[in-house]
Structure 1
Amino acid sequence: MSSTAWLLSAGFGVLMLLGVPFAFGIGIVVAVSLVVSGIEPMLMPQSMVAGTQSFSLLAIPFFMLAGELMTAGGLSARLVKVADVFVRHLTGGLGHVTVVAATVFAAISGSAPATTAAIGAIMIPAMAARGYDKGFATALAVSAGILAPLIPPSIAFVIWGVIAEQSISRLFSAGIVPGLIMALGLSAVCWIYARRNKIPVQSRASFVEIRQALRDGIWALLAPAIVLGGIYGGVFTPTEAAVVSCVYAILVGMFIEKRLKIADIGPIVWRSLKITSIVMAIIMFSTGFGILVAQEQLAPKLAAWLTANIQEKWLMLLVLNIAFFLLAAVMDEIAIMVVLGPLLIAIANSFQIDPIHFGTIIVTNVAIGMAAPPIGYCLFVGMAISGLKLSDVASKIWPFVGIMLVVLMLVTYVPGFSLAFQ
């Protein structure tokens, strides 16, 4: 291999082992490789900036902002109340409330961390007060939060759609069935846990309680209907839907719920910008990394080697899933998509895998990576809410990760799950 190829592979690996933050590590590798390869100095910065200029990527900051605004405006609490009156009387009732509320909130925010924070802040203390182990409650909130990359609208699908040049609306619809199956699986774990630990069953909600919860929560329930209805009805694009979500959240939070003040908007926007800046920095540096990888022909060479040594499609998909799971344990999930995107697309093309089906496989892997120890992003959100250590949460999350892996296998080997609404 050339010196540039060694820098991109071994050099990058060494920086990760040394604990250099991902965005900085990939930026250092790109900068050094640029000098070594002799590329015109201005070409790379221009290309890196251009990689962040896609109109579709504007959905990321707006969906993140929408999630923050809806939490501050009280809509997440309304969703929890609606879910509570319908499923609290079941065995593992509060666990089911967490899953249902997260599923609906995911259809508004598109962000796993935002969903974990919004629902976890309410449900982790509530479950602990009702006799659930706090580590289990935190693990459930983290696991329910990662429904957001699958349930449309999804930031992860937006990023993959840009990378793979696929229809974002079609990718959104591909995540519906896998997301709902995963939600059912998480609820099954809650039911088993409650049975084994003899968690008391709550009383069934009365008709008056249900009516009141629906009346109070109507504006929260309308949010996903407006967003998804607008996208699939052709009224607006996914990016425009993200802006509509923000406007809706501000109007409802300020004038209907009256919990959101003008003074609150500045800090909320700032929090969203900080998260967005990290995501966009990773995308920018990863774009430069991808340009150098393309120049060295690393992706086609590796794809050719894999296809020459692995003949069966099912085995190739299994290898990719295992590799993705291991990488997601130590790397940022968005960075994996951007950096490995050309390689993954080349492999999918060589095995003639439907691009929408393949995109669902990739995003399901991304979702699992956000919850899997040791560095799943949502894990740290859950730890911040509960005050627990990583070991306390990680020890309880494996049954949920097991369900996620079962869903991943179904998505991988039963294309109908992701292509049902195509």
Structure 2
Amino acid sequence: MNVALISTLALLFLLSVPIAVSIGLASITGIHFFSHLPLQVVAQKMVGGLDSFPLLAVPFFILAGQLMSHGGVSQRLVNFAISLIGHRQGGLASACILTCMIFAAISGSSVATTFAVGAILIPAMAKNGYPLPVAAAIQASSAELGVIIPPSVPMILYAISTENSVRQMFIAGIGPGLLIAIALLVMVQIWCRLKGYGLHDKPVTTSVWAAFLKAFWALLLPVIVIGGIYGGVFTPTEAAAVSAVYAFFIGVFVYKELSFRDLPMVFKSAVLTTSTIMLIIAAASLFSFLIGVSGIAATVGDWTRDNFNHKWSFLLFVNGLLFLVGMFIETSAAILILAPILAPIAVSYGVDPIHFGIIIIVNLAMGMITPPLGVNLFAAASVANIRVMAMFKPLLVPVCTLIAALAFITYLPIISLWLRDLSL
């Protein structure tokens, strides 16, 4: 059954069958033709995979991100970021990274971050002399912070699939998220000076205090969510519900840019996104069960221990594997398929499972900006109205920066774990 599962899944991927359908069909094929399990297992495991209280956080965070995206938050965050850093050469590019970092703590989605921030800053950068592919590349790479800085849907999926704490994953993501944001800011400043980008960025006309007051209610949301989780006031699932209610309140009653007529469109978008993710989770739950039954996990574990004598060489191998996987497989599906296999092996090498989860998520996040299936590339290209291939060359600089940051995160566990350990 091992060969049937993997070969069927690979064939369906090559045929561009949707991720969830590919995983489901490969699992059903393995059960029907190569095992003695009844087909009732399909329904049992798929439903069982969704029967999880922490999973309720996923639709709530998605809804909160949609409400904030349509509620006037993006422009206020952009103005605030520009007031902080827009006065120097490359200020707009730096403001793009800073805005993405803040918006990431609201939306939990890199694609939502790309559209919400990119719709404002990509045209602004192009108008001020940045080559359009460069502006799109900066936006796409910055938006990956959407899945690294909590709240993050992939963090929830990793925690559930490996039976770890969502709260600990959220807290552990803060350090790596800040490191990546700082690395991108330094990279942009050096890049702009070497290439002469951003020389025509307009001087800041709004004071930091005035921009802060206008963005105050938006900036308060990540404080409420992360502070509430860190302080033990509420669980991540409860925090997701709080964030959705708060996003609705400020969009409708404070900023007044979200009308009741807009709500059906917002809810529809949130439902479609949630349904896609939930279908992937259900199919991956069945696939993970078959991986355990077929012995693939044990085989991979034995092979790994035979070929890697130390955890550092194992982590190097995992990073290379995940970098390649991220190019071809959607992040959520990759986590749900690979995490249950790789996490126990990592633990056997003495790697903290929370630290390993951060490594997986940061690595797969790079897959969002690497061809051929980088979702952020297509989102940024759509906003910039350019071909995806035009972004390949300028993407080399941010990708190398992210690889360097990943190396620090991988081999310095304290970056991920210091804040988590303080909260225990």
When normalised by structure 2's length, the TM-score is 0.95
Q: Deviations over 1:300-356 (max 9, x none)?
A: 111111101221211111111101101111111111111112211221122121111
Structure 2 matches for 1:193-342, cutoff 5 A?
193-198=191-196, 199-200=198-199, 202=201, 205=204, 209-342=207-340
Counterparts of 2:267 and 2:165, CA distance in 1: 29
Q: Which runs of 5+ in 1 are unaligned?
A: none
**Alpha-carbon deviation of 1:63?**
1.2
Amino acid at match of 2:142: A
Q: Which residue is equivalent to 1:401?
A: 399
Q: Which residue is equivalent to 1:90?
A: 88
Q: Which residue is equivalent to 1:130?
A: 128
Counterparts of 1:256 and 1:350, CA distance in 2: 51
Amino acid at match of 2:273: I
Counterparts of 1:165 and 1:343, CA distance in 2: 13
**Alpha-carbon deviation of 1:203?**
5.8
**Alpha-carbon deviation of 1:209?**
2.5
Q: Which residue is equivalent to 1:191?
A: 189
Match of 2:27 among 30, 43, 48: 30
Q: How many residues matched?
A: 418
Q: Deviations over 1:139-195 (max 9, x none)?
A: 111111111222111111111111111111111121112111111121122212321
Amino acid at match of 2:225: V
Counterparts of 2:55 and 2:379, CA distance in 1: 23
When normalised by structure 1's length, the TM-score is 0.96
Contact 1:64/1:114 (8 A) holds in 2 = no
**Alpha-carbon deviation of 1:73?**
0.7
Counterparts of 2:147 and 2:373, CA distance in 1: 17
**Alpha-carbon deviation of 1:201?**
5.3
Q: Which runs of 5+ in 2 are unaligned?
A: none
Match of 1:10 among 7, 11, 20: 7
Q: Which residue is equivalent to 1:116?
A: 114
Q: Deviations over 1:372-399 (max 9, x none)?
A: 2221122221122111111012222121
Q: Deviations over 1:39-95 (max 9, x none)?
A: 122122111111012111121121111111111110111111111111001221001
Match of 2:67 among 54, 66, 69: 69
Counterparts of 2:356 and 2:43, CA distance in 1: 31
Q: Which residue is equivalent to 1:390?
A: 388
**Alpha-carbon deviation of 1:291?**
1.0
Contact 2:308/2:314 (8 A) holds in 1 = yes
Counterparts of 1:10 and 1:43, CA distance in 2: 21
Amino acid at match of 2:348: S
Contact 1:299/1:346 (8 A) holds in 2 = no
SS at match of 2:234: coil
SS at match of 1:51: helix
Counterparts of 1:259 and 1:386, CA distance in 2: 24
Counterparts of 1:189 and 1:201, CA distance in 2: 19
Counterparts of 2:123 and 2:164, CA distance in 1: 41
SS at match of 2:373: coil
Amino acid at match of 1:295: V
Amino acid at match of 2:9: F
Cα RMSD of the aligned pairs, angstroms, is 1.4
Amino acid at match of 1:27: G
Any runs of at least 4 consecutive aligned residues in structure 1 with deviations exceeding 4 A, and if so which? 201-204
**Alpha-carbon deviation of 1:25?**
1.4
Contact 1:56/1:239 (8 A) holds in 2 = yes
Contact 1:63/1:110 (8 A) holds in 2 = yes
- The answer as to 2:366 corresponding to 1:368 is yes
Percent pairwise identity: 38
SS at match of 2:146: coil
**Alpha-carbon deviation of 1:204?**
5.2
Counterparts of 1:314 and 1:373, CA distance in 2: 27
Counterparts of 1:201 and 1:189, CA distance in 2: 19
Contact 2:147/2:153 (8 A) holds in 1 = yes
**Alpha-carbon deviation of 1:202?**
4.2
Counterparts of 2:374 and 2:62, CA distance in 1: 18
